[in-house]
Amino acid sequence: MNILLSAQPVSSQRLRRIANYGPAVVLIVALLVLWELYVNSGQISSRVLPAPLAVVQALIANWDVISGHTLQTLLETVLGLALATVLGLGLAILLAMASWVRRAVYPLLVISQTIPIIALAPLLVIWFGIELAPKVIVVTLYCFFPIAVACSDGLLGTDPDLVRLMRSMRASRWQVLWLVRLPGAMPSFFSGLRIAATYSMTGAIVGEYVAASRGLGLYMENASHSFAVILVFAAILVIALLSLCLFGFVALLEWIALPWYQGVQMRN
């Protein structure tokens, strides 16, 4: 009986969290319906702004071509995001462990974000060619900063009482990092990773726009040159769905890795 009583609040909290997405779903559906009605009313040419249903039909009809470009873009995105995660987490640990490194590197890290990545993309093509490497590097540059900064802030925001308690038990700096700082920084790390996941697909598309032999960016560029606007919208639909899937995958990883944090969030 006690188990059932304790399970009911948790399930009701989850239902409330799911219901919170209701207004967003209703708004999206309403906008799509208005878009469809506006195009079908003849107020604008479907060659300029295709209707949503026509975009879906074009996506299905051309999926044999779009799927190959999608796999290439997804490969670039996943590799770049994984590399950015490893580098961002490593730098965040270094910034948290050594104050002199933080004072020296952190300003440079912030300044680096003032340089448009699209301006570096042509240089990367010159240095690494038009194959996989430059696109992966562009994705990494897009995703690296939010992961490094968010995780670094999480590591530096560790409860000082816990750190003093560990040191009173003669714990080493690495033991404090592994047992206290890293677990406490995981919510911040996943927040940065979620932001990076939404940027990652954009980075791959930017790299493909500059130079590529395959990918959704190249596909959209060729479609726009051919004035096939509906195919551009079909590719955009694929990009949006992939971005949502990546975001959801990161949220799932967070739910698996931090069940205690999810319980706190549901109670709040």
Q: At what angle do helices 52-61 and 22-40 cross, to 10 degrees?
A: 90
Percent of the chain with pLDDT over 70: 89
Over the chain, what is the mean pLDDT?
Answer: 85
Alpha helices in 98-159 (DSSP H): 99-112, 117-128, 132-156
Judge whether residue 263 has pLDDT over 70.
no
Cα separation, 163 vs 154, in Å, equals: 14
Judge whether residue 202 has pLDDT over 70.
yes
Judge whether residue 46 has pLDDT over 60.
yes
- Measure CA of the first residue to CA of the last residue in the chain; give whole Å: 25
The whole-number average pLDDT for the span 163-178 is: 81
Q: What is the pLDDT of residues 213-239, one digit of tens each?
A: 889 999 999 999 888 999 999 999 999
Query: How confident is the model at residue 261, as a pLDDT?
Result: 62
The whole-number average pLDDT for the span 68-83 is: 95
Q: Buried (b) or exposed (e) across 21-42, using 16+ Cβ within 10 A?
A: eeeeeeeeeeeeeebeeebeee
Least-confidence region, from 62-66, 82-86, 170-174, 252-256: 170-174
The whole-number average pLDDT for the span 175-198 is: 88
pTM above 0.75, yes or no: yes
Q: What single-letter DSSP state applies at residue 181?
A: I
Cα separation, 156 vs 127, in Å, equals: 37
Judge whether residue 264 has pLDDT over 60.
no
